[in-house]
Structure 1
Amino acid sequence: MSLATFAAFPPGDLALQNIHVLHGRQLRPGFRLEDTSRYGDDIWRLWPAQLKAHDAALILNFPSLPRRFQSAAKKLFYRLLSVDPPDGEDSPGITSIRITFTHMKAFLTWLDKRWEPHVTDLSTLTPDDLTAYRKHLNVLHPRSSDRRTLARGVIRLLWRWRSHLDEHALSFDPLHLPEWGESKAPRRTENATDRLPEETMGPLLGWALRFVDEFASDILAADAHWRAIRTDTFRQPDDVADIGLRIRALMDEHIASGQPLPGYRGRPNVVHLARTLQCDRTSVDRHADVLAATAEIVGIGTDSYFGNPITGRLDGVPWVEGIATHHTATHSLARLGRHLQAACYIVIAYLSGLRDSEVKHLRRGCLHVKRDEDKTPYRWTVTSLAFKGEDDDAGVEATWVVGEPVARAIDVLERLQPAETDFLFARLRHGSGAKKGSAEALTTKATGTQINKFITYVNQLCDTSGRSDSIPAAGRSRTGFKTSVFRRTLAWFIARRPGGAVAGALQYRHQSIQMFEGYAGTSASGFRAEVESEQALARGETYIAMIDAHEHTDLTGPSAEEVARRLSEFGERAQFQGQIALDKHRLKRIMKRHDPAIYPGEYVTCVRDPAKALCEKAKRGGSEGLPDHGGCKPLACRNVALTPENVAVWTRELARLEKRMAARPAMPPLRQHRLQQRHAEITEFLATNTRTESLA
């Protein structure tokens, strides 16, 4: 049916009631339009049009609105869902429509108490009505101008979409009402999410890596056992005596080892014993006297454990006594499996820079490993879907370069999920929460809750074992851990590194360095200044260490003498009562005024002089500031000095080149020539710029 035909029908016409409200929306794979909600339904299910795997299922529940306004609300939300927007308007997303419904419900509920019972037409709204509601919002949300602005904007939809609303259209633009808008400070252009402080991020990442690298094998072994006993067919032997013999043999093993019987609520766990013996529980029940006699000798355990030995160690002892079978136990497979999933999320989200939506769309096989001629991995990439800033609401395939820890976490997730499960962050099947929710992947809120529980478990483990590396509370809210803090925190650490803005722009898929710097923080916000201050402080501490150890006299290279001169002057300015012993505040002041502009690096130490810097000459429209390590030409630049550590790195580079040139079968002639040329350039560079003994 065309929209023109639809518009001719009265609201109560059957044709109107049978229209599918999502006909203007892209549907998820596997959904048919004819199976989706119709206009006449009391509840419209939006889930078929929610294209992100981790979104919670949303609905529009019209019976929750005042009865007299339900018809008007249906007309508005049908237009928002599936009708082309008026000129100058955009079609709102599904999540935005659900938020709009919440605010419209609040307005209509307020209006229902204000108006006479017989009035149903929203076009009769007056400026006095909206002025009164504006004052109501000021009382309802006195501290949140954003909530008040959003609530007012929802009402203004009745004016902006008036060409589609007929008798329910607003007859005036609320924007022209006195005090309808609010004057407020200019909106911040940078990301406002707080970052995690080092004292929180350090132990959080450390424990997450410990779960991935050391504890995962125990959890995965228990998971494999759990799957096996649910897929194996229980034995049903004809000879009942055989069951008796096997039960007695198992009881003898418990008596010999002194191991208590597996327990559940103070009694022997018959279900667990039946699964261990691969028989039905009634066969075990027939031998209750044997169980009771054994329990008199060895007792009954608090929990039942999988039989796999614990290999992971914490302070030299097993990190858990065992992994319990029942999901309510603290160390159960259900809980530890979710802790492991949370640990994998922390490693991936923090060390990759992926957004939550991008992490949640990681699928089995998303990891790609590149190897050199020796089959040694040297690059790992992951493929997922990107949503923000993309034209396709269903997401656009994108690739990120990651490190080996992320690859290990993905490998763990692929083993933790059943082979038939595609999404790596789908709900785990252990325990009572396996079937909650309809999302294919964990929602953002569910992951936040998971991380909160992971932190609580780790801190309990630290308390029990007397460890001091517990995780301080930061980045946590009443409703769960804010997953966005990982991306923000990574931006902070990247920005503090030389060339970090370039690395951040690449890792975050931003189209320019300026966009990344805006994400990491603007000059006005103080973020950038804080980064530069931290960088300067770190360099100042390095300078002092070099001066104390007389390391600046061991440098070689074109600018070695310049390093010695600058550091000598810096040391004189840093003297206090005959010693270089500075607190951070004083060191920051000295660095601000007398920074020697020496930048230690892995391959070279840069002694910045813009007039001689080859990286500066290679810039186009570059700005003053840090040297461009991405454009560094160390073998030719006169700003280079070499520490003994720098020389050692170059020496290892020569050894690596020699190994590759000697490999068999031989490389193509052109590549062999390039490696030989590189080897010769480095050899000449070291011969010219190092002392003989430094190469020994």
Structure 2
Amino acid sequence: MPAQPLPLGHGANRPADTTPVLSGRPLAADPSLMPQFGDRFWDLAVAGHAGNRYASEFFIDFESLSDATRREAAREFLFWRLNTHPVRGALPSISTVAAEWWNLRCFFRFLDTEHAGIRLDTVTQPVLDSYLLHCHGEELMPSSLRHRLQVIPRLHLAAEGMPSDALEINPWNGRPLSRIIGGRAVSRHENQTPRIPPRVIAPLVQAALFYVRTAAPDIISARAELTELQASVSEIQGLSLARLDRYLDSLAAGGRGVPVLDGTGLQPHLAGSPAYTYIMRKSRAGRDIAGGSYDDHIVRALERLGPEPGGMDSPITPHPQTGRPWRDRFSPPAVPHEERLLRAACYILIAYLSGMRDSEVKELRDGCHFTERSTDGVVVRHKVRSQLVKGGRGAPESWVVIEPVAQAIEVLECLPHRDLLFCRPVAGRPYSTISANRMNENLNAFRAHCAGIGFPVPDVDGEPWNLTTRQFRRTVAWHIAHRPYGTVAGMVQYKHLSVAMFEGYAGTSPSGFRAEVAAEEALARLADIVERYDDFKAGVRSTAPGGARTDNEFARVQEELQDFPGRVVDERRLHAMLKASAHTLHVGTLNDCYYQPETALCRTAGTEDRPLLNNCRPERCANSTITTRHRPAWEAARSDTERALTFVGLSDLQRTALRGHTSDIIRVIEGIDRAHS
């Protein structure tokens, strides 16, 4: 439990106005820019190492609070959060404190509008209960609701550092927020980020690969054409009907129509549309709309030639599935739209096929991809450099990745960007980034677009799946843990993925991806052992040498919990009792192995904590259990062996070995049938 704050009146004095608010933290900018306690504004970006975020996310404007006491209390609370070490762990990150500023303002706004602006030291538990109901009424996601409410117990803990006004009562008598909010209580170590379902991630990755490998060259070519056109506009002098006629005649000679579509739909009127402006600039007839006879010439050409989608010259590559162009010709408005989709596709491949965090993906810069050969010179490894942003610090690190990730980075380097690859330049602004929220919007736009390019993403429970940046790392860790030999899309194998991710950085450094996979494996084993316990309760019994030991363990658990029909047991207690067995469970096709090295036949020196599956003897090993769920695999093995006996040219020794193997398989199948007869 965190230490309780000292009684009011015994806390620290108010810091001096000239006290730096970020003392001792690593800085990402000039130290002279560090804000001081008495400043009207705090720009925490001086220590914000995540270059992919908007600068405004780190900007704290105390003037947005109209009451002087509120402003002072906010200063004291944020200073306490930035400089007070918790009982466990490190100082909160700059991003965390900046987010708490928003949640603090929400609480202050509630007190001002619903409770006549009462001070913190007069807040009572009924007031906090009413705020809880107020937040529930906003229909926030559970994680967002928790973040919104976390500021309240932290205000109480910070009371010793808030002499101007502090929250005296212990909110909800110190009960955990998980119980206050309601819903399923979960371990703080369990990852609550939802996993992207397999039927969603497979077409999504296929569509992303299509965009990076097939669509990207066309989009990059269209951007180059558009850039050249925009640069040449300043050279156009006056108006020229002759140039317009030459351009329209060239369209007729090439069998093309007049551009009237802007990439999102037919313009209701040609005059004044983006297509009209494009025609004038493309033909060099003028910089802008001219009207009069220019309109007449374009309209007559349209009647003679018909309309053409887009109008730009960049060719369109055939779609591999249909052999037809994957989209209509580009129009100027369609180019940035397609670039937005292409960036989202690149993000999907990098985030999902590397295991990097969102902040690490968005820190990728020009030249971040490089290759290295193995010591024997045979294997070429793709690597990327980025910045690990964790605990408020930025540290350069590298990851081992696979080829599609390298291809996505190469594409990003060809798209308009500033220093960061996901930093999209915007005219008139010094910088513009795709922040987490904007990227979530782009990801869902790409998901909706997948059907239009031949990779429809099915709904889940009748609704489109809502993608977020955090889901990709969680999902790939889950798939590697549960389906290490499965295929994600095309020829990309999860096993290939796991080998690359576990090399070098991703397996051993603070990125912690290997630990995430291990946590998913533990959850998978627990789910498997619970499923086998349910089978036992339904009457399924194990055969093979280890079957009796497993059944006895399940019987002991059932008896201790009195887990019999008509009785509801404590699920958390059941999981706790089965957890020890789950740690040793290794699920297989022909059997399940409850591994104990001292009785394992797969190794001579029982010193390892995992079985050697290639040496498994499931019908003989004391760790092996076989149930009805394994029977189809044994039947298939018998069919394969009997088919092999029909081969011409087998030696007598080979036939004897195959017949002996068939007899062993039949004994296993008969044992399964006897256990359930």
Instruction: Report the equivalent of 1:136.
Output: 130
Question: 2:247 and 2:423 mapped to 1: Cα distance?
Answer: 37
Deviations 1:558-597 (A, max 9, x none): xxxxxxxxxxxxxxxxxxxxxxxxxxxxxxxxx9899268
Deviations 1:339-378 (A, max 9, x none): 1111111111111111111111111111112358999873
Q: 2:325 aligns with which of 295, 318, 324?
A: 318
TM-score (norm 1): 0.62
C-alpha change, 1:364 and 1:516, in structure 2 (3 Å) is same
Kindly indicate whether the alpha-carbon contact (under 8 Å) linking 1:475 and 1:481 is maintained by their aligned counterparts in 2: no
Q: 1:337 aligns with which of 329, 336, 339?
A: 339
Q: 1:346 aligns with which of 348, 371, 378?
A: 348
Kindly indicate whether the alpha-carbon contact (under 8 Å) linking 1:138 and 1:148 is maintained by their aligned counterparts in 2: no
Q: 1:50 aligns with which of 48, 52, 56?
A: 48
1:423 maps to a residue whose letter is L
Instruction: Report the equivalent of 2:99.
Output: 99
Question: 1:593 and 1:247 mapped to 2: Cα distance?
Answer: 72
Instruction: Report the equivalent of 2:162.
Output: 165
Aligned length: 520
Kindly indicate whether the alpha-carbon contact (under 8 Å) linking 1:215 and 1:312 is maintained by their aligned counterparts in 2: no
Kindly indicate whether the alpha-carbon contact (under 8 Å) linking 1:505 and 1:516 is maintained by their aligned counterparts in 2: no
2:473 maps to a residue whose letter is R
1:224 maps to a residue whose letter is A
Alignment of 1:304-315 (within 5 A): 304-313=310-319, 314-315=321-322
Kindly indicate whether the alpha-carbon contact (under 8 Å) linking 2:277 and 2:288 is maintained by their aligned counterparts in 1: no
Question: 2:236 and 2:513 mapped to 1: Cα distance?
Answer: 68
C-alpha change, 1:274 and 1:374, in structure 2 (3 Å) is farther
Kindly indicate whether the alpha-carbon contact (under 8 Å) linking 1:200 and 1:472 is maintained by their aligned counterparts in 2: yes
Instruction: Report the equivalent of 2:572.
Output: none
CA drift of 1:294 comes to 2.5
CA drift of 1:273 comes to 2.8
Kindly indicate whether the alpha-carbon contact (under 8 Å) linking 2:369 and 2:382 is maintained by their aligned counterparts in 1: yes
Kindly indicate whether the alpha-carbon contact (under 8 Å) linking 2:77 and 2:161 is maintained by their aligned counterparts in 1: no
Deviations 1:519-546 (A, max 9, x none): 324248845669999xxxxxxxxxxxxx
Question: 1:367 and 1:381 mapped to 2: Cα distance?
Answer: 6
1:62 maps to a residue whose letter is F
Q: 1:595 aligns with which of 590, 593, 611?
A: 590
Q: Gaps spanning 5+ residues in structure 1: where?
A: 1-6, 327-331, 463-468, 534-590, 599-607, 630-642, 644-688, 692-696
Question: 1:370 and 1:516 mapped to 2: Cα distance?
Answer: 26
Kindly indicate whether the alpha-carbon contact (under 8 Å) linking 2:77 and 2:158 is maintained by their aligned counterparts in 1: no
Kindly indicate whether the alpha-carbon contact (under 8 Å) linking 2:236 and 2:287 is maintained by their aligned counterparts in 1: no
Question: 2:310 and 2:256 mapped to 1: Cα distance?
Answer: 11
Question: 1:508 and 1:374 mapped to 2: Cα distance?
Answer: 22
CA drift of 1:248 comes to 2.6
Kindly indicate whether the alpha-carbon contact (under 8 Å) linking 1:195 and 1:489 is maintained by their aligned counterparts in 2: yes
2:205 maps to a residue whose letter is L
Deviations 1:63-108 (A, max 9, x none): 5446253233343245236656588895432222233233333433
Deviations 1:222-252 (A, max 9, x none): 01111222334643579x8xx5543332221
1:131 maps to a residue whose letter is Q
1:422 maps to a residue whose letter is D
SS in 1 for 2:327: coil
SS in 2 for 1:267: coil
Q: 2:301 aligns with which of 274, 285, 294?
A: 294
Instruction: Report the equivalent of 1:575.
Output: none
SS in 2 for 1:399: strand
Question: 1:76 and 1:457 mapped to 2: Cα distance?
Answer: 48
C-alpha change, 1:158 and 1:360, in structure 2 (3 Å) is closer
Alignment of 1:494-643 (within 5 A): 494-495=480-481, 496-497=483-484, 506=503, 508-510=506-508, 515-523=515-523, 526=526, 595=590, 613=602, 617=605, 621-625=607-611, 627=613
Question: 2:329 and 2:270 mapped to 1: Cα distance?
Answer: 19
CA drift of 1:292 comes to 4.2
C-alpha change, 1:597 and 1:63, in structure 2 (3 Å) is closer
* Amino-acid identity (%): 25
Question: 1:293 and 1:593 mapped to 2: Cα distance?
Answer: 73
C-alpha change, 1:476 and 1:622, in structure 2 (3 Å) is farther
TM-score (norm 2): 0.64
Kindly indicate whether the alpha-carbon contact (under 8 Å) linking 1:369 and 1:380 is maintained by their aligned counterparts in 2: yes
CA drift of 1:261 comes to 2.1
Question: 2:464 and 2:22 mapped to 1: Cα distance?
Answer: 35
Deviations 1:458-502 (A, max 9, x none): 22344xxxxxx4111359999951222222221233223279688
Deviations 1:238-275 (A, max 9, x none): 9x8xx554333222122334533223742264432343
Kindly indicate whether the alpha-carbon contact (under 8 Å) linking 1:22 and 1:33 is maintained by their aligned counterparts in 2: no
Kindly indicate whether the alpha-carbon contact (under 8 Å) linking 1:235 and 1:279 is maintained by their aligned counterparts in 2: no
Kindly indicate whether the alpha-carbon contact (under 8 Å) linking 1:476 and 1:482 is maintained by their aligned counterparts in 2: no
Instruction: Report the equivalent of 1:471.
Output: 457
Question: 1:293 and 1:158 mapped to 2: Cα distance?
Answer: 72
SS in 2 for 1:223: helix
Deviations 1:253-305 (A, max 9, x none): 2233453322374226443234324564269768615434433422455x543
CA drift of 1:114 comes to 7.4
Instruction: Report the equivalent of 1:276.
Output: 282
Deviations 1:390-445 (A, max 9, x none): x6x23222221111111111111111235xx221112265xxxx778x87642122
Q: 1:456 aligns with which of 448, 455, 472?
A: 448
SS in 2 for 1:191: coil
Q: For the aligned residues, what is the CA RMSD?
A: 4.8
Question: 1:259 and 1:115 mapped to 2: Cα distance?
Answer: 69
C-alpha change, 1:163 and 1:9, in structure 2 (3 Å) is closer
| 277-286 vs 445-454, which moves further | 277-286
Instruction: Report the equivalent of 1:174.
Output: 170
C-alpha change, 1:445 and 1:179, in structure 2 (3 Å) is closer
Question: 1:337 and 1:594 mapped to 2: Cα distance?
Answer: 45
Question: 2:344 and 2:178 mapped to 1: Cα distance?
Answer: 41
Instruction: Report the equivalent of 2:581.
Output: none
Instruction: Report the equivalent of 2:270.
Output: 267
Kindly indicate whether the alpha-carbon contact (under 8 Å) linking 2:316 and 2:327 is maintained by their aligned counterparts in 1: yes
Instruction: Report the equivalent of 2:203.
Output: 203
Kindly indicate whether the alpha-carbon contact (under 8 Å) linking 2:382 and 2:401 is maintained by their aligned counterparts in 1: yes
CA drift of 1:162 comes to 3.8
